[in-house]
């Protein structure tokens, strides 16, 4: 029999991507973690699993089914790590003794549900939970902003076009868990007596990282679990931002000036057009069209936009229909194949008022919780840059590397 001293200890880190995502979206996150911890530390080596099976259209199937897929990948990776390699000696056997999980966008909610399953199935009785982090994750769902046409539109279309995940994003999924009067999943996962909250509380380090400004996908308040956004109207407020010297674009400190700044004189139309013309393109190289073809592109834009919109909506609808079919097949399987956690969700008490504030209050009481606010100014949408999602096509995505280094340096082995 192999003694405990002959087992190489392994710390398993799982990285989970977001909606419409693929594993490559969190590749840079995994790379920096491995570059920071390339060798065993105190006899513990790092193994990184980038979740594969929840990619692309599978992300329509819901937070819960996404987590079930991640669980299967975790089991398979652990079996691979701990299995004897043919031809190797017993002295080289490895055992997973520590566990961490990072999630980006939707992947953060999938990670929280995954932790709930692991906790409910006694996984943490033998494997120690260490680091948990989410990056630009809608912890309180995708909140609706009063007076915003785009917000009203997405709240109307999202639950219809994004299948089960859309309903969960917008807290319209209470009919999925019982008699139609139950709490939506995002709210249920914040309950202090839930396996989700208790499981997450086992982690030594918990990080919520979110964009302070211009994240059109996951705004600040839901990514950082705050009831107030101090960065609203930042261009007019004159807020002063100090970035962390080691981990820019993470904010070290911020403050408001004693008096509102004087607004600069309004630029003329010609000046604005010239500035727009000379501004660097945010498009990938293959879409950067030069003069005179760019003029032709702008001429056909009124035709192109509605055509693309119809194609996108059609694609959403088709993928949503396929997702609903997959979910029916999954739910028709032997109930023993599904985690018992579903029963917990279906047994929850009825919804209460001020649900969003309750979610915020509960999550902010997680032990070991740290928050990092990210300042990526000058971008139309900061959601992808915070994770360095596609540095090959978009050079400006590299601006988020300080965030990944912050998480990697703070990663306890």
Question: For 248-265, what is each residue's pLDDT tens digit?
Answer: 999 999 998 877 677 667
Ranking 164-173, 276-285, 363-372 by mean pLDDT, the lowest is: 276-285
Q: Does residue 146 or residue 59 have the better pLDDT? A: 59
Distance, CA of 48 to CA of 37 (rounded, Å): 11
pLDDT in tens, 312-362: 555 545 455 555 555 455 555 545 545 545 444 444 433 333 678 899 999
Q: What pLDDT is recorded for position 57?
A: 82
Contact 140/186 with Cβ under 8 angstroms? yes
Q: What is the DSSP string of 302-340?
A: HHHHHHHHHHHHHHHHHHHHHHHHHHHHHHTS-GGGS-T
Q: What pLDDT is recorded for position 370?
A: 98
Q: What pLDDT is recorded for position 349?
A: 39
Q: Which residues contact 320 (CB under 8 A, 6 or more apart)?
A: 60, 160, 161, 162, 163, 166
Q: What pLDDT is recorded for position 236?
A: 82
Q: What pLDDT is recorded for position 310?
A: 55
Distance, CA of 366 to CA of 201 (rounded, Å): 6
Q: Where does residue 8 rank: exposed (0-12), middle (13-18), buried (19+ CB within 10 A)?
A: middle
Ranking 48-57, 76-85, 105-114, 166-175 by mean pLDDT, the lowest is: 166-175
Q: Does residue 272 or residue 335 have the better pLDDT? A: 272
Distance, CA of 302 to CA of 51 (rounded, Å): 40
Q: What pLDDT is recorded for position 312?
A: 53
C-alpha distance from residue 189 to each of 114, 139, 283 (Å)? 11, 9, 38
Taking residues 130-134, report their average pLDDT.
99
Among residues of the chain, what percentage have pLDDT more than 70?
69
Q: What pLDDT is recorded for position 278?
A: 62
**Domain 4-265+341-409 architecture:** 3-Layer(aba) Sandwich (3.40)
Judge whether residue 297 has pLDDT over 70.
Answer: no
Tokens of 218: 């996951």
Please, which pLDDT band fits residue 166 given cuts at 50, 70 and 90? confident
Domain ranges of the chain: 4-265+341-409
Q: Does residue 61 or residue 162 have the better pLDDT? A: 61
Contact 168/185 with Cβ under 8 angstroms? yes
Contact 46/408 with Cβ under 8 angstroms? no
Distance, CA of 346 to CA of 337 (rounded, Å): 17
Q: What pLDDT is recorded for position 171?
A: 73
Distance, CA of 163 to CA of 57 (rounded, Å): 10
- Measure CA 122 to chain center: 25
Q: What pLDDT is recorded for position 165?
A: 78
Whether the CA torsion 279, 284, 285, 289 is positive or negative: it is negative
Q: What is the DSSP string of 5-26?
A: GGSEEEEEEEEE--TT--GGGG
Judge whether residue 365 has pLDDT over 50.
Answer: yes
Taking residues 44-71, report their average pLDDT.
92
Q: What pLDDT is recorded for position 168?
A: 84
Q: Which residues contact 237 (CB under 8 A, 6 or more apart)?
A: 256, 260
Q: To the nearest whole number, what is the mean pLDDT of the chain?
A: 81
Q: Does residue 373 or residue 393 have the better pLDDT? A: 373
pTM of the model: 0.79
Quote the DSSP letter at residue 279: S
| Radius of gyration of the chain measured on its C-alpha atoms | 23
Judge whether residue 73 has pLDDT over 70.
Answer: yes
């Amino acid at each position: 029999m192999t003694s405990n001293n002959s087992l190489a200890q392994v710390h398993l880190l799982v990285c989970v991507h977001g909606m419409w995502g693929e594993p490559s979206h969190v590749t840079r996150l995994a790379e920096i973690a491995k570059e920071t911890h390339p060798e065993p530390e105190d006899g513990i080596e790092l193994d990184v699993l980038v979740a594969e099976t929840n990619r692309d259209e599978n992300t329509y199937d819901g937070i819960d089914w996404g987590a079930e897929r991640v669980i299967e990948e975790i089991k398979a990776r652990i079996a691979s790590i701990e299995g004897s390699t043919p031809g190797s000696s017993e002295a080289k056997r490895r055992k997973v003794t520590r566990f961490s999980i990072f999630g980006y966008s939707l992947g953060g909610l999938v990670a929280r549900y995954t932790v709930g399953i692991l906790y409910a199935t006694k996984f943490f009785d033998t494997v120690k939970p260490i680091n948990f982090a989410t990056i630009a994750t809608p912890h309180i769902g995708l909140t609706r902003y009063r007076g915003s046409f785009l917000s009203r539109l997405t709240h109307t279309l999202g639950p219809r076009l994004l299948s089960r995940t859309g309903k969960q994003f917008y807290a319209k999924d209470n009919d999925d868990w019982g008699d139609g009067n139950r709490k939506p999943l995002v709210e249920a996962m914040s309950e202090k007596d839930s396996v989700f909250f208790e499981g997450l509380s086992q982690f030594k380090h918990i990080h919520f990282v979110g964009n302070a400004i211009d994240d059109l996908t996951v705004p600040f308040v839901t990514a950082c679990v705050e009831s107030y956004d101090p960065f609203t109207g930042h261009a007019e407020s004159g807020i002063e931002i100090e970035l962390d010297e080691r981990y820019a674009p993470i904010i070290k400190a911020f403050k408001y000036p004693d008096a509102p700044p004087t607004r600069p004189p309004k630029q003329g139309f010609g000046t604005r057009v010239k500035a727009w013309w000379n501004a660097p393109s945010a498009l990938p190289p293959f879409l950067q069209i030069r003069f005179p073809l760019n003029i032709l592109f702008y001429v056909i834009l009124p035709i192109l936009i509605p055509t693309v919109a119809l194609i996108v909506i059609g694609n959403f609808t088709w993928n949503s229909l396929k997702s609903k079919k997959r979910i029916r097949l999954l739910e028709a399987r032997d109930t023993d194949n599904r985690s018992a956690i579903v029963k917990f969700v279906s047994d929850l008490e009825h919804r209460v008022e001020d649900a969003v504030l309750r979610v915020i209050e509960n999550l902010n009481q997680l032990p070991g919780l740290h928050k990092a606010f990210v300042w990526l100014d000058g971008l139309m949408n900061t959601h992808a840059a915070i994770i360095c999602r596609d540095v090959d096509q978009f050079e400006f995505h590299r601006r988020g590397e300080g965030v990944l280094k912050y998480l990697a340096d703070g990663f306890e082995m």
